[in-house]
Structure 1
Amino acid sequence: MSAAARVGDPTGHPGTVAPPGVTSVLIGGRPAATVGTPHHCAAPPPATHPPSTVIGPGSATVLIGGARAARVGDRAGCGSAVVSGCASVRIGG
């Protein structure tokens, strides 16, 4: 099981899981991230690219707001993975 991803959690090169997430579900006080949650990549030029979303794979067994829950290790459309999440909330599947 992996730590739950939330809005504001860091991704690999560098970036963050971006708002809004699922605002009705708070994990560690922040909105939950799901497959489809925006991702903002802050890589400096010339490596910049258009905004993307978390594409997963996400959890096959845990849905938040009808979408697969995102976890540490899930990737954004640019290939960057979520590198840290809420250590006290683990999501399997």
Structure 2
Amino acid sequence: VPHIGGPVLPAPATVLIGGLPAASLGQMCLCTGIPDSIITGSMTVLINNKPAARLGDSTAHGGIIVSGMPSVLIGG
């Protein structure tokens, strides 16, 4: 089944970056096949005790996060 990536699905807005909910490891993403999820993240910045997701982090279906808040850099 081909996978066509989509947006990261909204999470509870306990942490906001640029007024939008922050994404983290394990968060679900839209996909045309079975549900997808974020599988990489920062090892030094946690959001609700999970690694923060950043531009360039990966999803289980081979996708990559390609949008975010350009004025915020998360290391690690």
Show the counterpart of 2:30.
40
* 1:44-63 aligned within 5 A: 48-56=32-40, 58-63=41-46
Give the TM-score of the pair, scaled to structure 2: 0.88
TM-score by length of 1: 0.73
Residue 68 of structure 1 aligns to which amino acid in structure 2? P
CA shift for structure 1 position 84 = 1.4
1 CA distance for matches of 2:34 and 2:74?
29
CA–CA distance in 2 between the matches of 1:70 and 1:15?
A: 15
Provide, for residues 18-61 of structure 1, a one-character-per-residue CA deviation record: whole Å limited to 9, x for no partner. 122x51100011110000111102xxxxxx310111111x1010
Runs of 4+ in 1 over 6 A off after TM superposition: none
Aligned residue for 2:6?
15
Aligned length: 73
**CA 1:72/1:37 → structure 2, altered by over 3 Å: closer, same or farther?**
same
Q: Matched residues in 1 for 2:75 and 2:21: separation? A: 18
Q: CA RMSD in A?
A: 1.2
Structure 2: distance between partners of 1:14 and 1:36: 16
Q: Give aligned-pair identity as a percent.
A: 49
